[in-house]
Amino acid sequence: MLARICKNAANKARVPKAKRSYSTTRKDQSGLSKRLAEIIPAKRDEVKKIRAELGDKLIGTCSVEQAYAGMRSVKSMTWEPSLLDPVEGIRFRGHTIPDLQKLLPKAPAKNGAKTEEPTPEGLLWLLLTGEVPTATQAHALSAELAARAHVPQHVVRLLSDLSAAGLHPMSQLVSAVSAMQKNSLFAQAYQSGAKKTEYWQTTLEDTLNVLAVLPEIAARIYRNSFKDGKLAPHDPSLDYSANFARQLGYNSADFDELMRLYLVIHADHEGGNVSAHTTRLVGSALSDPYLSFAAGMCGLAGPLHGLANQEVLRWVVEFQKKVGTTDPTADQVKKALWDTLNAGQVVPGYGHAVLRKTDPRYMAQREFALKHLPNDPLFKLVSKIYEVAPGVLTEHGKTKNPWPNVDAHSGCLLVHYGMTEYEYYTVLFGVSRAFGVLSSLVWDRALSLPLERPKSVTTEWIKSHITHSTPAAPKVSEA
């Protein structure tokens, strides 16, 4: 009886491939999918050749300390969209952030307002293809995302319920993206028996669909949790960032520019960080982009990762109260910093696991502030800390990198434009980070990367292995 039940269940689960089909909800009108189809075969051949010719070459080693210390700096994975240089900072497909600000297309000017910051749509094209897009390509991709921007009603209702229950904004983001998983074209294609070499196509479709709905999902989280719950209708005539700003409740050309800059500079930071690696790891099990991205956002929500931006701003506000003025002297800032360190606390926003200079993302935001809000009191305090903190931290001697990272600056910009809800900041980070981690996921499927399964060992194994592998001292001859 049990055998017959199992056999019947197996027969039901075994769906004939010819009777199952899947289709995309839209045909890509931007030309991105076509261009990737042209690029991928050559990249596959390149990777195949590298693995054949260089597969036995070592690219790094792992010490016992690294095994215990979170595998820090162990070279053990590939990541196509970006590479982090400890001196120059992040490079997106070989381009620095200043490069991107010059090379990537800008949003079309509206009502005479000049745009100077690059768009995340243009960055998406670059991350996926490795090519700087033309203005026509970037604008076509923007229109493509706008045409896909539809959030199902069950997700709208879910977000309303979750905000009413008081869930953290990041929990709402993870839940909403997970609730859209039923729309995954990759999952449908896999169940229909799609070829392994075709997985990237529906991964790309899912990626574009996820990116398209994220602004509305994120805006609903903000409006439901902190405002009146009302949302401006989607305006397909606007670029991605400006439309996001309208749905958040902002109608300012300067805030549009801030959103473009914010979404570009936070988009990717190579593959070893928690949100990127989690998305990669979950995707390696052939989980679809909705589930993979949702998993990555669970990692981003941690205080040692994406949540750090809100922690920095909270600290800066408390710091301002401690010094007792909005315009402290360098000596006052220095004393307050030493008080923080002597109390056994860290200076949040300073130091980075890899970088050994001021984070270029910090500098991009600083330049934006100097241009748009040079007299803002909170920005002036952040600037004063920037002038004093590296010297104090160097003298303190317990940090390898005394310079600020991206989290040390983003909060004061958002506060200037009225977004004071710290708990929401990581959701903005998540919208941006989707561009990088999902671009990489497309390439993971294009290159048929396998399930990730590193080898783990126990402390007892390490003790035994190290002891037994250490050469014994040579015996002294009695002769």
Q: What is the CATH number of the domain that holds 392?
A: 1.10.230.10
Side chain identity, residue 60: G
CA distance 298 to 302: 7
Cα–Cα distance, 350 to 367 (Å, whole number): 18
DSSP secondary structure of 362-408: HHHHHHHHHHH-TT-HHHHHHHHHHHHHHHHHHHHT--S--SB-THH
pLDDT at residue 162 in the model: 98
Contact 133, 105 (CB under 8 A): yes
Residues 289 and 147 in one domain: yes
Indicate if 287 and 299 belong to the same structural domain. yes
Helices and strands (H, E) in the chain, number of each type: 21, 2
Catalytic residue chosen out of the listed positions 95, 139, 266, 352: 352
Does residue 384 belong to any structural domain of this protein? Answer: yes
Count of structural domains, the chain? 2
Look at residue 28 in the predicted model and tell me its pLDDT: 74
Residues 316 and 366 in one domain: yes
Return the CATH number at 294.
Answer: 1.10.580.10
164 in a structural domain = yes
Check residue 26 and give its pLDDT.
62
Active-site option among 95, 234, 277, 305: 305
Q: Residue 377: beta bridge partners?
A: none
Structure tokens at 163: 């905000």
Residues 361 and 433 in one domain: no
Please tell me the distance from the alpha carbon of residue 212 to that of residue 240, in angstroms, as a whole number: 8
Q: How far is 271 from 71, CA to CA, in rounded Å?
A: 13
Instruction: State the virtual CA torsion across 458, 461, 462, 464 in degrees, nearest 10.
Output: 160
CB contact at 8 A, 400 and 355: no
Do 147 and 269 share a domain, yes or no? yes
Residue 429 sits in the same domain as residue 293? yes
Indicate whether 206 and 315 sit together in one domain: no
> Mean pLDDT, consecutive 10-residue segments, the chain of 479 residues?
42 42 62 95 94 88 87 89 89 96 91 87 98 97 96 98 97 98 97 97 98 98 97 93 97 96 96 96 98 98 85 86 85 90 87 78 96 95 92 85 88 95 95 98 97 92 76 43
Supply the DSSP symbol for 182: G
pLDDT at position 67: 87
Q: Which amino acid is at 448?
A: S
Shared domain for 385 and 426, answered yes or no, is: no
pLDDT of res. 8: 46
216: tokens are: 């509305």
Query: Does the annotation count 168 as an active-site position?
Result: no
241 with 319, same domain? no
Instruction: Quote the CA–CA distance of 238 and 37 in Å, as a whole number.
Output: 28
In order of 10, 120, 159, the CA distances from 265 in angstroms are 49, 9, 27
What tokens does 113 get? 């307002």
**Residue at 42 is within a domain:** no
Assigned domain for 6 exists: no
**234 and 193 belong to one structural domain:** yes
Q: How much of the chain is in helix, strand and coil states, percent to nearest 5?
A: 60, 5, 35
**Strand, helix or coil at 86?**
coil
185, 202 contact by CB (below 8 A) = yes
Give yes or no: 416 in active site: no
User: Domain for residue 218, yes or no?
Assistant: yes
Query: Does residue 383 sit within a domain?
Result: yes
Rounded Cα distance, 103 and 124, in Å: 13
Q: What is the 3-state secondary structure (H, E, C) of 396-439?
A: HCCCCCCCECCHHHHHHHHHHCCCCCHHHHHHHHHHHHHHHHHH
Question: Structure pTM?
Answer: 0.89
Are residues 441 and 296 located together in one domain of the fold?
Answer: yes
Q: Are 336 and 381 in contact (CB under 8 A)?
A: no
For 6, half-sphere exposure in the C-beta direction (CA atoms, 13 angstrom radius) is 3
Give the dihedral of Cα atoms 218, 120, 432, 362; nearest 10 deg. -130
Closest CA to 445 of 44, 145, 82: 44
Segments in 249-273 forming alpha helices (H): 253-265
Residue 98 Cα distances to 86, 255, 259, 329, 391, angstroms: 16, 20, 17, 31, 26
Which CA distances in Å does 102 have to 36, 106, 227, 255, 316?
Answer: 24, 9, 36, 20, 32
Selected catalytic residue, list 234, 407, 409, 444: 407
Given CA atoms 87, 88, 91, 94 in this order, what sign does their dihedral have? negative
Pairwise CA distance, residues 172 & 298, whole Å: 11
Q: How far apart are the first and last CA of the chain?
A: 79
85 domain-assigned = no
Q: Report if residue 352 sits inside a domain.
A: yes
148 with 293, same domain: the answer is: yes
Domain that holds residue 367: 308-416
Catalytic, 372? Answer no
